[in-house]
């Protein structure tokens, strides 16, 4: 089986972001849902590098990411004037760190066992 390396499929940004650009939340939801569906489909594949237990755990990570995505959306709504909206920044960072961890696990599946052994032992 050919190893999967995220860096071989990553999109490299070639220009700076526009901080004034606005994106409609439903548009982002479509992209998020498409990514989650593709990840779940890949995990269901009989050619998956992961055991059933590992696939189940990765699936739970993706599900929790969806809930966090909804929390970020709620905090950033225009009508939300609460000072708690600043919490969206560290929560968004958590999403990126989780995505990075998933990429690392996909590239090198033994890292998932290390994570499960040290951080997720309550799930075993």
Burial class for 6, CB neighbours closer than 10 Å (0-12, 13-18, 19+): middle
Q: Which residues contact 113 (CB under 8 A, 6 or more apart)?
A: 54
Q: Where are the domains of the chain?
A: 24-123
pLDDT of amino acid 37: 79
**Greater pLDDT, 121 or 99:** 99
Here the tokens at position 95 are: 């999403």
pTM passes above 0.75: no
Alpha carbons 109 and 67: distance in angstroms, whole number: 25
C-alpha to C-alpha distance for 66 and 69, rounded to whole angstroms: 5
pLDDT in tens, 31-72: 877 877 777 777 777 766 778 888 888 888 878 888 888 888
For the chain, what percent of residues have pLDDT higher than 70?
A: 90
């Amino acid at each position: 089986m050919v190893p999967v390396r995220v860096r071989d499929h990553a999109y490299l940004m070639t220009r700076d972001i526009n901080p004034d650009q606005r994106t409609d939340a439903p548009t982002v939801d479509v992209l998020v849902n498409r990514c989650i569906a593709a990840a779940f489909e890949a995990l269901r594949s009989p050619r998956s590098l992961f055991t059933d237990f590992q696939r189940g755990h990765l699936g739970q990570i993706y599900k929790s990411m969806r809930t966090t995505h909804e929390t970020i959306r709620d905090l950033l709504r225009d009508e939300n004037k609460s000072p708690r909206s600043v919490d969206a920044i560290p929560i968004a960072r958590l999403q990126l760190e989780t995505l990075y961890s998933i990429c690392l696990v996909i590239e090198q599946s033994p890292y998932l066992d290390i994570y499960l052994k040290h951080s997720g032992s309550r799930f075993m």
